[in-house]
Structure 1
Amino acid sequence: MSWLVTGGAGYIGAHVVRAFREAGIDAVVLDDLSTGFEAFIPSGVPFVRATLLDRDAVRKTFADHDIEGVVHIAGYKYAGVSVQRPLHCYEQNVSAMVILLQEMRDAGVDKFVFSSSAATYGTPDVDLVTEATATSPQSPYGETKLIGEWLLKDAGVAHDLRHTSLRYFNVVGSGTPELFDASPHNLFPLVFQALYEGRTPRINGDDYATPDGTCVRDYIHVADLAEAHVAAARRLGAGETIEPVYNLGCGDGSSVRQIMDTISSVTGIDFTPDVHPRRPGDPARIVANGDLAARDLDWQMRYSLEDMVATAWEARQKAGDRYPS
């Protein structure tokens, strides 16, 4: 039997697929390649090129493959842009998930690992976010992720769906040089692209109430994240108790200036970032407690910040001109 990985041709999804294969678990990828790359999918992994909004394609995928469970990573992930394109975000993240859950129900598939987000918390008023911290999303993107969690809760009651939601914080690094983060909105690829083009990276705001005045965030390595998906799938498959939500965070944060300094040190490129005004809505600090995930999913930080930068930079260099600019 196989696990269906939606969005399995993307940066995070491709790492999850590889982690499943290394764990001896077969995977099937469904991806429309709107942001992913077919080359990211390992040889021998069945690939369905389709959008989740195509109900017939989703139904056929379940009919053609012996699917045990679903890891749902596909979606529209740009929080800032979702404010300008809320209807598109809701279509991609909510309507598509409804179709997926309906077709899972009809196919008798009853295990689900959901790619949720720290965006469900909005701007928390606590130093350390736990799963009990109030959710208050401040973008359509964050709202759709929270609605996805609600859908799972209700489907679990109505259709005996076993599920868990993994709330990601800032995912960086690379588990293999062949897989890179090409997001036009994430900090690491933005800085790398600037350096690659000979431009000076920028910091948005240096007057926050933090030790160095720049925003503090929780950064986790994508390979650690992928392992957590494997652990969640195994726990669901074994019928073991599992929490509805887990934070995947490190319990300690790094500031944007620390990230810049580490990138300069690791790459050997000396630069002083330009400082621009704050972006509206950016909280000073978001850092998560990952104790629940450590207890149940063997969650741990296996990579240092230097490792995160070094692996990401190696992947960016290997990508060369294939990298979208």
Structure 2
Amino acid sequence: MNELILVVEDNPKILKNIQMMLEFNDYTVITSSNGINAIDTLSNSDRKPDLIISDIMMPKMDGYEFFKTISKNPKWFNIPFIFLSAKATPEDIQLGKLLGIDDYITKPFQEEELLSSIKGKLRRKKQLSKFNEKFMKMLDNKLVEGFDAKNIHQEDICLFYAFWDEELGPVIKDVFPKEYSIKISINEIGVQLFQTTVAIYGHEDYEHGEGVLLQIRNLDRFGYIYFGSIFDTSVRGNQRQFMLCTIAPQITYFDSLHIKKIFEKIEKKIKSLEVWDLIDSWQEISKILIQDH
């Protein structure tokens, strides 16, 4: 089955040209003329798009609001999203990146540039899907009791830190709260998340860190995982992998952007061998998640 791409563009000529280009390259295409129509298309479609390409300046609902709406919806937040826009100033591009889009391509655009970006985002999406599928299998379909995602309490939020040991494999370094109310132990979840990461991505040198937001359906939880590496001459390749993870009943895409900033600060301290406090970081993350919901 060909990969499905939703193109949102209010200029009929540009929309038709993009559609023809994508179909010529063996993609299936659905189209909308603005954000409102695109949301209706998504809501009524039997199949979720593999990727979205959207203009910014459109009537009824512009690209920014459309992206925000997509990002807040648990069904759609993980669809790769590319802005294709005539808004080409450094400020425009920076705003798009601050929102957390996957790519920002300016008009007029080169066909090769757009196709290359699409291929890269779809490849990344397949990796994440494989990650989630493998992780679900490793958890062996164990379930936890239900929860009210709209009513998050501080005790519903967990933060842990792990690193890779060449002899022992993944090792949980620290976790808070120590007794997290979930039927599967955090140690088991952490080990399996780390093993899944390595199985999918390998022992790469994540110089700037990589973040992944997962909807862990069979645990009725969301997880935001941040993995990176630090220089360590005692291990093969002189790079030791580490992982930071927060688990909560609900984490929106925009929550994950704020959490990522906290994790990036922690990463700097880990790399510079500075002391950092897991509980302080947990409190920061708790404020983000409780305030948002």
Q: TM-score, normalized by length of structure 1?
A: 0.32
By percentage of residues, which structure has more strand? 2
Higher relative contact order, structure no. (Cα contacts within 8 Å, ≥ 6 residues apart): 1
TM-score (norm 2): 0.35
- Structure with greater Cα Rg: 2
